[in-house]
Amino acid sequence: MGVFEWDASYLHELLGAADDREFLEQYLATFDMRVKEALQELGDALSASKWELVQSAAHKLKGAAAGVGGAEGKNTARQLVTALQDSPQAGSPSIEDIRRSFETLSAAARKEFL
């Protein structure tokens, strides 16, 4: 499962005509921090088989994706949440796959704007 397809137009709309590099750097740093925290929560919850916490962490990842990728990122992250709700023990991407996808998303945003 390729976890995320990124649509840069959302951040272009967010930034508008302004070329505010400092704002974008802070925005992406916050994104990275939230993703790191949610991935830690997801890994801990999976290890403990606490499926409600797995779903909560997946929901946080969905919000993070929406925050930088607009509808496309949100829809793809929603697939992760749905997979975890339907069968949290199976059928979902690994933590490492999710981490790599978010790192790719962050790197693409940085390349596009910074």
Domain-located, residue 5: no
pLDDT at 51: 82
Picking from 82, 55, 75, 60, the residue whose alpha carbon sits closest to that of residue 6 is: 75
- Take residue 80 and report the two structure tokens written for it: 């992760």
Question: Residue length, the chain?
Answer: 114
Question: Would you say residue 1 lies in a domain?
Answer: no
pLDDT of residue 105: 81
DSSP state of 91: S
Tell me the CA end-to-end span of the chain in Å, nearest whole number.
28
pTM: 0.77
Q: Which residues in the chain come in under a pLDDT of 50?
A: 1
CATH number at residue 98: 1.20.120
- pLDDT tens digits, one per residue of 52-77: 888 888 888 888 888 887 565 566 66
| Rounded Cα distance, 14 and 52, in Å | 32
For the chain, what is the domain count?
Answer: 1
In a domain, 8, yes or no: no
Q: Is residue 101 within 8 Å of residue 6, measured between CB atoms?
A: no
